[in-house]
Chain A
Amino acid sequence: MEKVFFIIIASLSVAAALSVVAQRNTLYSAFSLIGLFGCLAVAYITLQAHLIAAIQVIVYAGAIMVLFVFVIMLLNIREEELRVDRNRLLIFSVPLGGLLFGLIYFGLKNFKIDEIKGAPVGTSEAIGQGLFSKYLLPFEVTSILILLAIVGSVVLARREKDGDIEDIEDDEQVVKVSMAEKSKVEETKE
């Protein structure tokens, strides 16, 4: 029963992954990727990693993919822009991918471990205790990484020609100020 369920989940996720690569429209690729993340969250639940499954849905399918879809829609990509795919490289990349898969497969196919008894480890309590005791330093370094990413993305996505706009605004203000002064001068004259 569990095996049947796993096969369904696995075939769904492989189909979604193939769809990510095969779709010509970037937006459809993004939606396929969201489906793949959902399937992987179910796979994490079958492995009794409940917190990781929840984070997978919230952070990956929720936050990161929303960012992707947002950028795809923001960029307003032209139709011909979507049709540039390197299908001429198909004859090289598919055998290369087969080779990669063969290497991983023959490394792993006979991998077996003895059944280890014990309670499931994926609870939020266990992960929280790990993160805030033994692995506190990597956790804090991760927060610094996030801070750097925020600053970096703000700097990179900033509009380069901000200076020009400010100059124009400055000029307008100068004109307004000078006009106000002129009117004052005229008022005093009167």
Chain B
Amino acid sequence: MVPLSWYLILSAILFTIGAVGVFLKRNVITIFMCIELMLNAVNLTLVAFSSFYKQVYGQLFVFIVMTVAAAEAGVGLALVISVFRNRETLDVDKSNILKL
């Protein structure tokens, strides 16, 4: 049986890579993908705890996190399309004022 701490450490590694990606990248779509990566790392923690404690509620929470991630991806990519149409760039440094 794989110990719980292994899953937690894998989740910590994935979360850290996602956070570093958000710092490092300029392309707004890649930043979105790094946010998805961090959400998945948290999902892994929730599923691991749920499975080890034999309680289903962590997995219900994962269900809701996935829905929120889908909503976020939809609205965020619509924003990306809207900004790209007006500015012709995906660089977050070039669209740093809240104005289209």
Using a CB–CB cutoff of 8 Å, the interface residues on chain A facing chain B are 2-3, 6, 10, 13-14, 17-18, 20-21, 26, 29-30, 33, 36-37, 40, 43-44, 46-49, 51-52, 55-56, 59-60, 63-64, 67-68, 71-72, 74-75, 77, 81-82, 84-87, 89-90, 92-94, 96-98, 100-101, 104-105, 108-113, 116-122, 126-127, 130-131, 135, 138-139, 142, 145-146, 148-150, 152-154, 156-157, 159-160
Contact = CB atoms under 8 A, between A and B. Distances in A.
Given A111-B4, A113-B53, A116-B52, A30 B70 contact: no
**By DSSP majority rule, is chain B's interface helix, strand, loop, or mixed?**
helix
B8 A108 contact: yes
Size bracket of the B interface:
35 or more
A157 B19 contact: no
Contact of A29 (B8, B30, B72, B78): B30
B88 to A, nearest CB: 9
A68 B73 contact: yes
Kindly name the residue among B20, B69, B79, B90 whose own CB sees the greatest number of chain A CB atoms within 10 A. Answer: B20
Interface of B: 1-10, 12-21, 23-27, 29-30, 32-34, 36-37, 40, 43-44, 47-48, 50-57, 59-60, 62-64, 66-75, 77-82, 84-86, 89-91, 100
Given A26-B27, A146-B71, A21 B77 contact: no
Contacts of A94: 20
Contact of B4 (A60, A85, A113, A122): A113
A42 B28 CA distance: 29
Contacts of A49: 47, 50-51, 59, 62
